[in-house]
Amino acid sequence: MHLIMILIALAISWGIRCSWVEYSENWQQKWQRTLFFFLFPPLLIVMTAIALLYMGPQGKMLGLQTGWSSYVLALTLLAFFAVIWIRKAWQGWRSVKSTRDCPIVNLAGRRVRLLKTPALFAGQIGFWQPELVLSQGLLQTLSPAHLETVLAHEQGHYYYRDTFWFFWLGWVRTCTAWLPNTDALWQELLVLRELRADAHAASQVDPLLLAESLVLVISTPPVTSEICCAALADNSVDRLEQRIEALLAQPESTSEFHLIYWISFLLALLPLITVMFHS
């Protein structure tokens, strides 16, 4: 019976991921919808594994005998996820440690880390309390007005705690790389993250200046990994065009909060209810 639960969870997760298609919505609506398709299948699988682990390898469920095979499979799955998390956390810690080796400078009353490279780079690096890192080449290339737009964009990443949340989302991405559309959903989330930070910055600075800053920064290759990092630069031309078009367009009105997407996450907890039918 436990093996049937695993197969049902996998089938539902696979079906949900396969049903994802892109829609022409504003970025607020896309964010909620994309996050659901990205997170719900892994959450359902993990809740199923936890339920099986709690019920154990012995006993009966709905009159059917349980066994060790499903128990070992659930334990192996959770152990695999834990190992990946440890690896991601270690990589993130190394990234933060490397950032702390950079000297601290004061810029417009802000405390930033200076990365000694001619490349143009600006990013938040860390977990819940990330540090702003700017490259020497960026400070030497951008005008004060353009630099202000970069700082506003990075403040958007800090406001939404993107480094923290995308550390966990990146962990989910690695754990479920075998599910359909994992990479496509991940790329969509990255675009939406930058659009959200751009929108936050555009409410404080000139959107045209921010668009010019994006064009300048995108001309150089990235200088750091995406782990625990939310950076202004993006080496994808398609994303750059999408971000610039959003900046030059009329500001989007804040969309209504779609509660249905968040309530639907509760359905992923249904496997825990099956514990009551185990004896």
Query: What are the pLDDT digits (tens) for 111-168?
Result: 888 988 888 888 888 888 888 999 888 888 888 999 999 999 999 999 999 999 999 9
Banded pLDDT at 260 (limits 50, 70, 90): low
> What pLDDT, on a 0 to 100 scale, did the predictor assign at position 57?
66
DSSP string, the chain: -HHHHHHHHHHHHHHHHHT-------HHHHHHHHHHHHHHHHHHHHHHHHHHHHH-SSSEETTEEP-HHHHHHHHHHHHHHHHHHHHHHHHHHHHHHHHHTSPEEEETTEEEEEE--SS--EEEESSSS-EEEEEHHHHHHS-HHHHHHHHHHHHHHHHTTHHHHHHHHHHHHHHTTTSTTHHHHHHHHHHHHHHHHHHHHHTTS-HHHHHHHHHHHHTS---S-STTEEES----HHHHHHHHHHHHSPPPPPPPP-HHHHHGGGGGGHHHHGGGGB-
> What pLDDT, on a 0 to 100 scale, did the predictor assign at position 257?
53
> What pLDDT, on a 0 to 100 scale, did the predictor assign at position 254?
46
Query: What are the pLDDT digits (tens) for 167-223?
Result: 999 999 999 999 999 999 999 999 889 888 988 898 888 888 888 888 888 766 555
Task: Name the pTM for this structure.
Answer: 0.84
Query: What are the pLDDT digits (tens) for 75-122?
Result: 889 999 999 999 999 988 888 888 888 888 888 778 888 988 888 888
Query: What are the pLDDT digits (tens) for 232-244?
Result: 655 566 677 788 8
